[in-house]
Amino acid sequence: MSGAPLFGRVTLIGIGLIGSSLAHVMRRDSLAGEIVVSTRREDTLKRAIELNLCDRGTLDAGDAVRNADLVIICTPMGAYEAIGKHIAPFLKDGAIVTDVGSVKLPVFETLGKHVPDHVHLVPGHPVAGTEHSGPDAGFPELFKGRWTILTPAEGADQAAVDRVRELWLRAEAMVEVMDAAHHDQVLAITSHLPHLIAYTIVGTATDLGEDLQQEVIKFSASGFRDFTRIAASDPTMWRDIFLTNKDAVLEVLGRFDEDLTELKRAIRRGDGDRLFEHFTRTRAIRRGVVDAHQDDMPAPDLGAIPGPYSQDNDD
Ligand code: NAP
């Protein structure tokens, strides 16, 4: 797919999995007149330049955003406050600031409070990912057929929202606009809770005795395998997700606890009808996911060790 540049200068702050995938899309379809990248570490910047992900690179985020029409923050969310404060004085009139963070309500507190009135803030979240990190991990098809959720504040500039939407459409994503708090509740159940469970299960297996641990790895294809992939996701990112979406995660965790207790009771009492009824209900949900084309990607074939580009970490 090709098209005229949507933006003059685009600045990517952070160029890991998501930032580099966006850079690939913009390169592929010539969506930006110029791409500027800013990173924290010199090595990362060097690699981004080697991979031809930008026209110019700098370690100074303030310098990077000068004259940018679009600024995309692609760092862990824990860095937003410092980045917002640092770049605010250098943002040009009418610029758009967006992000790709996995939790949306806190963006207004950390980043939003620094964004000047003459700049449009359009927070976003591509619900697509892998367990891989860094500038080498990106690929342009990452967002294809996946949702990107935009969560502008009420009364946000519609033209700015439309331009960010257009960028994601060019990345072949499906776009939905949603209230930030609602986004965080939905993602708490669809993404954050499953990750917490995966981290817990893999942690429990790690604590088993040496012999049992070997067997767990050997027979991992029986279900454990996919948990190891999810639990291999980036620790910094996931720490920040649980810290920033604390209330919504604790709420769904409470419900999960109650349901788990009920299933435990059914097992203890030998209540096969209760178990059968529950598993039949959940099977119907699976059919719904498949019908909505949210599981069209090839099944991961990873063995016990996560392999590259298993494209189904909906973070
Ligand atoms: P990543 O591959 O780990 O890359 C993170 C980038 O941010 C790197 O370029 C890193 O640069 C930079 N960075 C890290 N800490 C920084 C700091 N304190 N100040 C400035 N730059 C910093 O991360 P990612 O997976 O692309 O995730 C980025 C964002 O996307 C996160 O907010 C995450 O919630 C969201 N997201 C991720 C996924 C996913 O599956 N991974 C999916 C949807 C959304 P250095 O190397 O120089 O430190």
Q: Is the CB of 152 under 6 A from ligand 1?
A: no
CATH classification at residue 246: 1.10.3660.10
Number of domains in the chain: 2
Residue 275 is assigned to a structural domain of this protein: yes
Same domain, 276 and 207: yes
149 token code pair: 């959720």
Q: Is the CB of 237 under 6 A from ligand 1?
A: yes
Walking along the chain (315 residues) 10 residues at a time, the average pLDDT comes out as 80 98 97 98 98 98 98 97 98 98 97 97 96 96 97 97 98 98 97 95 86 83 85 93 97 96 97 96 86 62 31 60
Q: How far is the CA of 175 from the centre of ligand 1 (A)?
A: 21
Same domain, 99 and 30: yes
Q: Is the CB of 15 under 6 A from ligand 1?
A: yes
What single string gives the DSSP state of each residue in 123-191? Answer: -EEE----S--SGGG--TTTTTT-EEEE-PPTT--HHHHHHHHHHHHHTT-EEEE--HHHHHHHHIIII
Q: Can you tell me the distance from the alpha carbon of 180 to that of 198, in angstroms, rounded to the nearest whole number?
A: 25
Same domain, 246 and 189: yes
Q: Which of 122, 143, 178 is the last residue of a domain?
A: 178
128 token code pair: 């697509």
Same domain, 47 and 143: yes
Same domain, 143 and 86: yes
Q: Which of 152, 178, 204 is the last residue of a domain?
A: 178
What single string gives the DSSP state of each residue in 59-85? Answer: S-HHHHHTT-SEEEE-S-GGGHHHHHH
- Going by alpha carbons, the residue nearest to atom 18 of ligand 1 is 79
Atom of ligand 1 nearest to the CA of 241: 34
Q: Can you tell me the distance from the alpha carbon of 226 to that of 282, in angstroms, rounded to the nearest whole number?
A: 18
Q: How far is the CA of 303 from the centre of ligand 1 (A)?
A: 26
Residue 90 is assigned to a structural domain of this protein: yes
Residue 151 is assigned to a structural domain of this protein: yes
Identify whether the C-beta of residue 90 lies closer than 8 Å to the C-beta of residue 66.
yes
Same domain, 30 and 161: yes
Same domain, 159 and 16: yes
Residue 134 is assigned to a structural domain of this protein: yes
Same domain, 14 and 139: yes
State the pLDDT at residue 307: 31
State the pLDDT at residue 287: 85
Same domain, 93 and 120: yes
pLDDT tens digit string along 231-251? 999 999 999 999 999 999 999
CA triplet 186, 188, 189: central angle to 5 degrees? 75
Which residue range forms the structural domain that includes residue 273?
A: 183-291
pLDDT tens digit string along 297-312? 544 332 222 333 345 5
Q: Which of 125, 160, 178 is the last residue of a domain?
A: 178
Backbone φ and ψ of 154, nearest 5°: -60, 135
137 token code pair: 């991990």
State the pLDDT at residue 92: 98
State the pLDDT at residue 75: 97
Atom of ligand 1 nearest to the CA of 134: 2
Residue 315 is assigned to a structural domain of this protein: no
The residue whose CB lies within 8 Å of the most ligand 1 atoms, and thus the one to mutate among 12, 74, 83, is 74
Same domain, 37 and 148: yes
Same domain, 220 and 255: yes
**Beta strand residue intervals within 128-225, DSSP E:** 147-150, 174-177
Atom of ligand 1 nearest to the CA of 101: 32
Identify whether the C-beta of residue 105 lies closer than 8 Å to the C-beta of residue 77.
no
Same domain, 122 and 239: no
Burial track 10-33 (b if 16+ CB lie within 10 A, e otherwise): bbbbbbbbbbbbbbbbbbebebbe
Residue 2 is assigned to a structural domain of this protein: no
What is the pTM for the complete model shown? Answer: 0.90
**Beta strand residue intervals within the chain, DSSP E:** 7-13, 32-38, 56-58, 70-73, 96-99, 120-122, 124-126, 147-150, 174-177
Identify whether the C-beta of residue 73 lies closer than 8 Å to the C-beta of residue 99.
yes
State the pLDDT at residue 298: 46
For residue 254, the 8-state DSSP code is H
Residue 314 is assigned to a structural domain of this protein: no
Residue 301 is assigned to a structural domain of this protein: no
CATH classification at residue 130: 3.40.50.720
155 token code pair: 């009364």
